[in-house]
Structure 1
Amino acid sequence: MPPDTLYVTSHIHVDGPIPGPHSLLTLASAAHNADGALLTTFTANLRELPGATLHPIALQSWRGRAEDWLTTRRAARPPAIAMTAYARWIAQLPGQPVFVADPEAQDYLFLYWYLQRFTGQWSFARTSTDPDVRDRLPYTPVCTLSGCRAPLAQTS
């Protein structure tokens, strides 16, 4: 792997299974160098999309985690502003950013849709689903929600 390759892992919270009818609520990403060392992080809470609804299954889940829901709503920014800031963060990384995707998670689906919708581009040089890449990146917690699953990599 080229030394200028950077790996970006992400963790999100949403209010439904697909973007558009449902919203991205929180985003946390961490950039790692090729050796897995943490370089920098990005976090944001996003406002709900106009006209989007809370999916019944997500509603049931959030009802049992009221404090977590409130945490996702604190200082929430409009999606266009948050995603523009995210794209700028990616562009300022010192290397070729590779999005590390977990095929079983919604992170790629939501982030691809949101970046395309609000910035008109997918900001990453490429995407990797290679489990060897995911496995060697350190776990660094970013998600402070009590109901968080263990993400690929997170930072505080």
Structure 2
Amino acid sequence: MSATAEPRRASKPKPKTSVYISVDVEADGPIPGPYSMLSFGAAVAGRQDGDGFTPVADPARDTFYRELRPIADAYVPEARAVSGLDRARLGREGAEPGVAMGEFTAWVRGVARAHGAQPVMCGYPAAYDWMFLYWYLIRFTGDSPFGHSGCLDMKTLYATKAGVPLRSVSKRSMPAALLPGRRHTHHALDDAVEQAELFANLMRWGAVESG
């Protein structure tokens, strides 16, 4: 190379594409194992590549829902009451967790193939739902289609974009334009679809605001 020649610059690696899947869990206690996940729903929210985020046309179109047989006798009445699900009925009619989690894994991987992307679970807030979902996946299938960290929290996303403390975030604190038009019913599939809409609104919200 001559003294005047410019060194060749390494090209930046192309960003990996993500497909975001909104998940909502209804459980009968604070942690998995001693308590049970009673139902969960999932809805595809959108796809993000190096050019930006593209929401799906209708988050209710590509979804997954299962009600599960409880895995433990213990439950917290107040937690079970949120969903209104009948534990006795689920004991008779609920899906076996291993079967349901296997079907969910196949569905997630099908979504990922269809979008040519790596799947990411998103939730509002994600910590509780991810804890149950990941524990059930590992306990009953030995694997997770999201890996061990493919999770995005919508409350953190809003706090970062708005420049506000995380503990101050609630849906009531968000601008009305960000809120989904669907009701929050505490039915896992309804709420997964509602939160997919919220996630798409947050991802497309470009301005950093402070209230």
Question: What interval of TM-score do these two structures reach, taking the shorter chain for normalisation?
Answer: 0.7 to 0.9
Q: Flag the structure with higher helix content.
A: 2
Distance in 2 (CA, whole Å) between partners of 1:88 and 1:14 is 22
User: Which of the residues 117, 122, 128 maps onto 1:100?
Assistant: 122
Distance in 2 (CA, whole Å) between partners of 1:20 and 1:139 is 35
* Residue 12 of structure 1: how far off its partner (Å): 1.2
User: Which of the residues 24, 30, 38 maps onto 1:25?
Assistant: 38
Distance in 1 (CA, whole Å) between partners of 2:24 and 2:79 is 17
Q: Structure 1 pair 142/85, CA: closer, same or farther in 2 (3 Å)?
A: farther
Aligned residue number for residue 70 of structure 2: 48
CA deviations 1:38-68 (Å, max 9, x no partner) are 351000000001x441125435x36xx7xx3
Distance in 2 (CA, whole Å) between partners of 1:138 and 1:122 is 29
Normalising to structure 1: TM-score of the pair?
0.73
Q: Structure 1 pair 142/76, CA: closer, same or farther in 2 (3 Å)?
A: farther
Q: Gapped runs of 5+ residues in structure 1?
A: none
* Residue 137 of structure 1: how far off its partner (Å): 9.6
Q: CA-atom RMSD, angstroms? A: 3.6
Distance in 1 (CA, whole Å) between partners of 2:21 and 2:107 is 11
Aligned residue number for residue 50 of structure 2: none
User: Which of the residues 93, 104, 109 maps onto 2:131?
Assistant: 109
Rg larger in structure: 2
User: Which of the residues 139, 144, 157 maps onto 1:131?
Assistant: 157
Equivalence map 1:34-45=2 (5 Å): 34=47, 35-37=54-56, 38=59, 40-45=62-67
Aligned residue number for residue 106 of structure 2: 88
CA deviations 1:121-144 (Å, max 9, x no partner) are 1211522225259x9796666957
Q: Structure 1 pair 143/57, CA: closer, same or farther in 2 (3 Å)?
A: closer
Q: Tell me the matched-pair count.
A: 145
Q: Sequence identity, in percent? A: 30
Q: Gapped runs of 5+ residues in structure 2?
A: 1-13, 48-53, 162-173, 198-211
Distance in 2 (CA, whole Å) between partners of 1:114 and 1:36 is 28
User: Which of the residues 111, 119, 133 maps onto 2:141?
Assistant: 119
Normalising to structure 2: TM-score of the pair?
0.56
